[in-house]
Amino acid sequence: MNLGDEANTPNTIVNLDQVKQLNSATIYKVIEQHAPISRVKIAKVSSLAPASVTKITRQLMENGLISEVDLQVSTGGRRAISLAPNAHNINVIAIKLGQSLLSIAHYKLSGEKLLSKQISVPVVTESSSLIEFFISEIAKFITQPALINEKISAISMTISGLVNPKTGTVIYHSTSPLNNTPLVKEIQQAFNIPTFIGNHTRCLALAEHYFGATRQCQDSILVSVHHGVGSGVIMEGKVLLGKSCNIGELGHIQINPLGKQCHCGNIGCLETEVSDNAIFDKVKAAIAAGSPTSLSTSNFTIDDIYLSAANKDPLCQAIVQQAATYLGKSIAILVNLLSPEKIVITGKIVLSGDLIFDTIKQCTDTQTLPDFHHQLSVIPTELTPDLTLAAFALIKQAIYEGDLLQRIKV
Ligand SMILES: [Zn+2]
């Protein structure tokens, strides 16, 4: 075998379909960002040849993805026809599989959320029963009166666990029998609609990048504290997945070698100390041991704990600050490795306000390279809580970076 040829093959073969896909996506994105926009301006902004712009915009129009909207007077006095996306005519379904709830929502590709529903997930031992449940609930959702006459162009689902978005497989899910299940294949076969799957936190990082705090930022990390701790890394504007497809499992950094056993099998993982449940349990134990607090000791929620910490309740403040120190230490490791511009924190923990952000910043200021922390900001999410927005972001990614644009015909 000629090693030189082998080494060159992936870069030298020009896959025309991929080029076409990439150019279409570039043009669609330009239209979306600058609409209404003329073909001449699209060519300028995208740096593509006017002939390519004409050809690709014709195809996008034929498939119903864009349309001519109005006449715009150009600087030379000639009237040019403008183009705009037809995103308000394209329907997609975004789903989140939570620990015990399945959330399903109908969005327009423009981002408008029209309908949503939450259903309790049955406790089952076979993955086939769970797949049957998903298919039956999706079928009920898309055949309700408001949707039955609408064409659905994509379905996506996010899951808190390890997934391979490239093969559409759930690799590991701690609270269901979905391990090693080819979920995309099953749903796609049932509905004949392009289907996508992703890790919830990674897709939330994508949502933050498309619609939230990291819109103008190429390198960022979203850290989510919920029933566990996870992160999604955006590098050069794209979610970092790697070959394993699961980069960002921050919750399993060992933070307390003498701590509790984690569900992953190891001892003292970050999420055994910092998750909502872990913080709730610590406060409960401290109250039982007689620690004074302003909380109503018989009936309080995790929200109450975070808000009381912000209001300087000594018990809640001490426990949340310790959690923030652990979190800050782990985030400092990420900053040293990846040098992001922004760290975005999401989850109810942000209710603790400055206590969380000041503690984390103190850790990154003292535990990372000066060049890295001088340019770093640690900020809360800008997204309003929406369980299915991460799955919607996954569909946007499939439009911008995958072949979904080629598969939509309205
Ligand atoms: Zn673990």
For the chain, the domains span: 3-85, 90-204+388-407, 215-380
Q: If you measure from the C-alpha of residue 263 to the centroid of ligand 1, how many angstroms do you get, rounded to a whole number?
A: 6
Measured in angstroms, how far is the CA atom of residue 324 from the centroid of ligand 1? 18
Q: Which residues of the chain have pLDDT under 70?
A: 1-14, 71-80
Neighbours of 404 (CB within 10 A): 22
**Domains 3-85 and 215-380 equal at CATH topology level:** no
Q: What pairs with residue 106 in β-bridges?
A: 93, 115
Q: Give the pLDDT confidence score for residue 371 in this predicted structure.
A: 95
| d(CA 229, ligand 1 centre) in Å | 10
Q: Say which amino acid occupies 99.
A: Q
b/e map 280-304, b = 16+ CB within 10 Å: bebbeebbeeeeebebeeeebebeb
Q: How far is the CA of 261 from the centre of ligand 1 (A)?
A: 8
pLDDT digits over 42-62, tens only? Answer: 999 999 999 999 999 999 999
Question: In CATH terms, is domain 215-380 a member of 3.40.50.12780?
Answer: no
Ligand 1 centroid to Cα of residue 197, in Å, is 23
277 alpha carbon – ligand 1 mean position (Å): 14
- Output the pLDDT for position 8: 45
Record the tokens describing residue 325, joined without a space.
């120190």
> Which superfamily, per CATH, for 90-204+388-407?
ATPase, nucleotide binding domain (3.30.420.40)
CA of 251 to the centre of ligand 1 (A): 6
Helix (H, G, I), strand (E, B) or coil at 147: coil
Given this model, what pLDDT does residue 5 score?
43
Query: If you count DSSP H runs as helices and E runs as strands, how many of each does the chain have, helices first?
Result: 15, 15
Whole-number Å distance between alpha carbons of 376 and 132: 46
Distance of CA 264 from the midpoint of ligand 1 (Å): 4
Ligand 1 mean position, distance from CA 232 (Å): 17
Instruction: Just give the CATH number of 3-85.
Output: 1.10.10.10
